[in-house]
Amino acid sequence: MCGIVGYIGNKNCVPILINGLKRLEYRGYDSAGIGIVNNGHSDVIKRKGKVSILEKDIEKLNLNSNLGIAHTRWATHGVPNETNAHPHFNSDKSIFVIHNGIIENYQTLRKGLQKFGYQFITQTDSEVIPHLIDSFIKQGYNLFNAVRASLGELEGTYGLAIIYSKEPDKLVVARKGSPLVLGVGDGENFVASDVSAIIAHTKQVVYLEDGEVVEVFKDHFVTKNLDEDGEIEKEVHQISMTLDELDKGGYQHFMLKEIMEQPDSVCNSMRGRILFDEGTAKLGGLENVAKQLAESKRIIISACGTSWHSGMVGEYMLEQFARIPTEVEYASEFRYRNPIVNKDDAILFISQSGETADTLAALREAKIRGALCLGICNVVGSSIARETHGGVYTHAGPEIGVASTKAFTSQLIVLALITLLIARKRDMSLVDGQAIVKELEMLPDKISKILKMNKQIEEIAGKFKDAKNFLYLGRGYNFPVALEGALKLKEISYIHAEGYPAAEMKHGPIALIDDNMPAVFIAPKDSTYEKIISNIEEVRARKGRIIAIASEDDDSIDRLVDYSIKIPDTIRMLMPVLTVIPLQLLAYHIAVKKGLNVDQPRNLAKSVTVE
C-alpha cells in the first residue's frame, strides 16, 4: 500500500522524487523518506508524518543527485516513526531499499542474519532486505545478482526499488504481488507504484509482472525473471492520463471534486457502450466471452470494501434480469475457504485500482479452478485487467480521495451494462432492454440535479457532526447503499455507523435508538416503500432523529422525518446510483465540519496491496 518512486537520469532527482511522493501520498502517509547516491556518496533523509514535512527539511539541505528512490509509508510492521520509515539500509549505508508489501519470513531471516553480525535498528519486516543483499554482495555478487539471490530467500509480497552507492549507474526493481511500473524517458527512466507519480515526466510506461526483476539504467533497462537469465522483451504502453486529472480543480478536497465529477464519470462509463435500437450494451472487453458468460450456471462477484457493496447491487441486477444465480464474496475470505468453483461458473472481480491484493489472490485461485474470470476495474493496465479472461474498464478517471465515490457509481453502471448484455442474450425483451437504456442515459442529468442540493446537505451535516453513532437503513437495491453510506461516514468522520436491511432493525439494532441516535433511511417510492415507512414510524416512536433520502414527489414523508433529501426517480436497478450521492455528501460535510483530513483519513490507504 506504500508509495514507491525512483529516478535515474541526468536531472536532479530530488524534486522529481518529492513531487512523485506527493502524487502517491494517498497510498500511505505515516512517514516518508528519500535515499540518493551522488559521486559514490549516499544520503538518506526520513521523517515521520506527511511528505510536506520531509520536503520542508530537504529544502534546507540543497541536495543534488541523478539517482534516487523515495517512499511514503502505510505502516504494517512497526509503528510510524522516523526510524521505521523507508529507505532501509545496510550498516555502511551503501545499499538503500524501499519496499511495498509484507515479508512473511522476516523473523527467521533476521535471526539468521544476526548470527552473522548484522544489527537491526527498526521494527520492520523490510529491514532484512538490505542486509540480505549486503550478505550476497560480500560473497562477490554484483547488485543485480545479489538482489535476485535475496529474493529467492523472501516469502511474501514485494514491490522493491534498490540503489547501491558502489554501482551508481543503475537502480534495481522487482515485483511480486505489489504493483510497479517503469516510466521510459529520453535519457532518463522512472519507477513508481502508480503512474500518477511519473505522469508529469513521461507517458511511456512498462507494467512489471510478478517474478520480474529489472536493472534500470538512464538510457535502457533489462528485465529478467527471478530464476532465468534470458532477457524479457517488454511492451511499452502509452497512457492517456493527464496532470489536470490529478489536480483538485479548485475544490477544497479531492473527495468533493470526485463527488462532483459523477455526472461525467457515469457518462464516461456508458460512452460508446449503449445500443438503443437493440436495447443492449456493447462491451468490447467481453466480446470473446459474452456467449460463455450468458450461458454460465452461476455468477460469483468477488471484491472488497466499496467494490463489495457495488457487487451486492450487481447481484440483485443479475438475478432479477439475467436470472442467473449470483453470489457476492469477500475476496479476502474467498481464497482461504476452499470455495466450490466449477468450470461453468463466471466470476467478476471488482477493484478500482485493479491491484487489490485479496481480489487479485482470489482471481488467481479461481483461474486455477477453471472458472471464467472477468474484471471490472478503473486503472488501465492494472494486474486484474491483465490477468482476467476479459473485462470492462469503468473509465471513471483517476480517483485520489481515499474514500471511494465516483468509482462506486461507475462500477454500478458497468454492472448494469453487463446485466443488460446478458439478459438480452437470454430472455429479456427488446422493449424492456430499451427501457433500461433510456433510464441509463438520463442518469447524468439526474445526478447533476442531486449535486445542486449540496448546500442543503451541508446544513443537515452541521446538525449531526457531533453524533457518536449512525444507523443507515434500506431495503432491496438500497440495502447495499445503506452499507456504503455507513462505510463513507466511518472512513472519513470516524463516527461509528452501521448499515442494515431496514426490516432487520427489529432484530437487534432498534435497541440503540434514542433521541441522540440519527437514523438515515433510504426511502424512494418503490415496491418496498410502504414497508420502509413502517420502519420509519418505529424509529419515530422511539424518538430517533431521522434523515430520509426520498423521491422528489413524496410530500407525505416530511411529516415523519426530521430532514428529507429529495432526489429524482429512476428504475429500481439504477436507484443506488442516485441514492448514494446524498450519503457521500453527508459524510463529506460532517468530516469537514469536524476539522478532519477528508482525503487522507487515519489508518487508511487508497490501494490495498497487502493482506
Half-sphere exposure of 60 (CA within 13 A, CB side): 5
* Residues facing 376 on adjacent strands: 350, 392
Torsions phi, psi for 6 (to 5 deg): -140, 155
User: Could you tell me how far CA 387 lies from the centroid of its own chain?
Assistant: 17
Longest dimension (CA), the chain: 81
Distance, CA of 216 to CA of 8 (rounded, Å): 8
Reduced to 3 states, what is the DSSP secondary structure of residue 278?
coil
Distance, CA of 303 to CA of 313 (rounded, Å): 12
The C-alpha cell that represents 285 in the structure block: 472487453
Burial class (CB in 10 A: 0-12, 13-18, 19+), 254: buried
Q: 381: closest CA among 183, 213, 226?
A: 183
| 479 to 206, 500, 577: CA distances (angstroms) | 41, 7, 13
Distance, CA of 402 to CA of 405 (rounded, Å): 9
For residue 508, which amino acid is it?
G
> 457: how many CB neighbours lie within 10 A of its CB?
24
Distance, CA of 570 to CA of 572 (rounded, Å): 6
Catalytic: 2? yes
Q: Select which of 2, 13, 304, 377 is catalytic.
A: 2
Q: 349: closest CA among 391, 379, 399?
A: 391
**Which DSSP category does 10 fall into?**
S
**Which DSSP category does 103 fall into?**
B
Q: Select which of 170, 218, 566, 606 is catalytic.
A: 606
| 170 to 167, 188, 255, 431: CA distances (angstroms) | 7, 11, 38, 62
Burial pattern 307-333, b for ≥16 Cβ within 10 A else e, equals bbbbbbbbbbbbeebbebebebbbbbe
What residues contact 327, with CB distance under 8 A and at least 6 apart? 298, 299, 300, 301, 315
Give the chain's length: 611
Note whether 319 and 342 are within 8 A (CB).
Answer: no
Distance, CA of 174 to CA of 215 (rounded, Å): 9
Q: Cis omega (within 30 of 0) on the bond before 444? A: no
Q: Which residue has the cell 472458472?
A: 371
Note whether 43 and 35 are within 8 A (CB).
Answer: yes
Question: Could you tell me where the DSSP H helices lie in 101-154?
Answer: 106-115, 128-137, 143-151
Reduced to 3 states, what is the DSSP secondary structure of residue 382?
coil
* H-helix or E-strand spanning residue 54: helix 51-59
The residues annotated as belonging to the active site are 2, 606
